[in-house]
Chains A and B, each alone.
Chain A
Amino acid sequence: MTNVPATPGAADSGAAPEPAGERKVSEGLHFARRNPKLLIGTGIVLALLFTGLIGPLFIDQGPNVYVGPKSQPPSSEYWMGTTSFGQDIWAQFVYGLRSTFLVGALGGGIAFVVGTAVGFVAGFKGGLVDELLNMFTNVVLVLPTLVVLIVAVAYLDVRGVVVQALFIGLTSWPWAARAVRSQALSLATRDYVDLARLSGRRTWRIITTEIAPNMSSYLVMSFILLFGGAILIAAGLDFIGLGPANGVSLGLMLESAVAWSALQLGMWWWFIPPGAGITLLVGSMYILNVGLDEVFNPKLREL
Chain B
Amino acid sequence: MTLRVNDLKVYYQTLRGDVHALDGVNFDLADGEIMGLAGESGCGKSTLGKSLIRLDGRMRHVDGTIELDGENVPIADDRAMNRFRYHEISLIPQYAMSALNPTRKIGRMINELLRSRGVRPADVAEELDRRLELVGLDPDVLKRFPIELSGGMKQRVVMVMATLLDPSLLIADEATSALDVSTQRSVVESMVEFRDRGYVKSMIFVTHDISLVYQMADTVMVMYAGRIAEKAPASTIINDPQHPYTKMLIGALPEVGTTTEDTRLEGIPGTPPGLLHPPTGCRFKDRCPIASEECSQTPPLVEIEPGHWAACWKTGR
Contacting residues of chain A (207-232) with chain B, CB-CB under 8 angstroms: none
B15 touches A16 (CB 8 A): no
Q: B274 — which chain A residues lie within 8 A by C-beta?
A: 17-19
Contact indicator per residue, chain A 75-89, by CB within 8 Å of chain B (1) or not (0): 000000000000000
Q: How far is the CA of A163 from the CA of B12 in the complex (A)?
A: 55
A15 touches B15 (CB 8 A): no
B57 touches A302 (CB 8 A): yes
Q: Residue B276 contacts which of A18, A30, A302 (CB distance < 8 angstroms)?
A: A18
Residue from A17, A19, A23 with most neighbouring chain B CB atoms (10 Å): A17
Q: A27 interface residue, CB < 8 Å from B?
A: yes
Q: How far is the CA of A30 from the CA of B21 in the complex (A)?
A: 24
Look across to chain B and name the residue whose beta carbon is closest to the beta carbon of A23.
Answer: B16
B47 touches A30 (CB 8 A): no
Look across to chain B and name the residue whose beta carbon is closest to the beta carbon of A15.
Answer: B12
Look across to chain B and name the residue whose beta carbon is closest to the beta carbon of A26.
Answer: B15
Contacting residues of chain B (15-31) with chain A, CB-CB under 8 angstroms: 15-16, 19, 21
Look across to chain B and name the residue whose beta carbon is closest to the beta carbon of A31.
Answer: B15
A17 touches B19 (CB 8 A): yes
Q: How large is the interface on A (under 10, 10 to 19, 20 to 34, 35 or more residues)?
A: under 10
A15 touches B58 (CB 8 A): yes
Q: How far is the CA of A15 from the CA of B55 in the complex (A)?
A: 12
Which DSSP category, helix, strand, loop or mixed, fits chain A's interface? loop
Residue from A15, A16, A30 with most neighbouring chain B CB atoms (10 Å): A16
Contacts A27-B15, A30-B15, A302-B57; A15 near B46 (Cβ below 8 A): yes
Q: B12 — which chain A residues lie within 8 A by C-beta?
A: 15-16
Contacting residues of chain A (1-59) with chain B, CB-CB under 8 angstroms: 15-19, 23, 27, 30
B21 touches A16 (CB 8 A): yes
A18 touches B57 (CB 8 A): no
Contact indicator per residue, chain B 70-91, by CB within 8 Å of chain A (1) or not (0): 0000000000000000000000
Distance between A125 CB and nearest chain B CB, rounded to angstroms: 28
B275 touches A17 (CB 8 A): yes
Q: B21 — which chain A residues lie within 8 A by C-beta?
A: 15-17
Q: A16 — which chain B residues lie within 8 A by C-beta?
A: 12, 14, 19, 21, 58, 275-276
Q: B276 — which chain A residues lie within 8 A by C-beta?
A: 16, 18
Q: B279 interface residue, CB < 8 Å from A?
A: no
Q: How far is the CA of A206 from the CA of B14 in the complex (A)?
A: 34
Distance between B57 CB and nearest chain A CB, rounded to angstroms: 5
Q: How far is the CA of A27 from the CA of B14 in the complex (A)?
A: 10
Q: How far is the CA of A17 from the CA of B41 in the complex (A)?
A: 8
Q: B251 interface residue, CB < 8 Å from A?
A: no
Q: How far is the CA of A23 from the CA of B14 in the complex (A)?
A: 12
Q: How far is the CA of A15 from the CA of B57 in the complex (A)?
A: 11
Q: How far is the CA of A15 from the CA of B21 in the complex (A)?
A: 9
Look across to chain A and name the residue whose beta carbon is closest to the beta carbon of B11.
Answer: A16
Look across to chain B and name the residue whose beta carbon is closest to the beta carbon of A301.
Answer: B57
Distance between A106 CB and nearest chain B CB, rounded to angstroms: 39
Distance between A76 CB and nearest chain B CB, rounded to angstroms: 50
Q: How far is the CA of A19 from the CA of B16 in the complex (A)?
A: 12
Q: How far is the CA of A16 from the CA of B16 in the complex (A)?
A: 12
Q: B16 — which chain A residues lie within 8 A by C-beta?
A: 23
Q: B151 interface residue, CB < 8 Å from A?
A: no
Look across to chain A and name the residue whose beta carbon is closest to the beta carbon of B47.
Answer: A15
A17 touches B42 (CB 8 A): yes
Q: B272 interface residue, CB < 8 Å from A?
A: yes
Contact indicator per residue, chain B 264-278, by CB within 8 Å of chain A (1) or not (0): 000000001011100
Q: How far is the CA of A16 from the CA of B21 in the complex (A)?
A: 7
Q: A15 — which chain B residues lie within 8 A by C-beta?
A: 12, 21, 46-47, 56, 58
Look across to chain B and name the residue whose beta carbon is closest to the beta carbon of A303.
Answer: B57
A18 touches B15 (CB 8 A): no
Q: How far is the CA of A27 from the CA of B15 in the complex (A)?
A: 8
Q: B47 — which chain A residues lie within 8 A by C-beta?
A: 15
Q: How far is the CA of A225 from the CA of B12 in the complex (A)?
A: 35
Q: How far is the CA of A15 from the CA of B13 in the complex (A)?
A: 11
Sample 8 A-B pairs with CB under 8 A, ordered by A number.
Answer: A15-B12, A15-B46, A16-B14, A17-B21, A17-B275, A18-B19, A18-B276, A19-B274
A-B CB proximity, top 9 nearest: A17-B42, A16-B19, A16-B12, A302-B57, A16-B14, A18-B274, A18-B276, A27-B15, A17-B275
Q: A17-B19, A30-B15 are in contact. List 5 more A-B contacts (CB 8 A).
A: A16-B276, A17-B21, A18-B19, A18-B276, A27-B15
Interface residues of B (CB under 8 A from A): 12, 14-16, 19, 21, 41-42, 46-47, 56-58, 272, 274-276
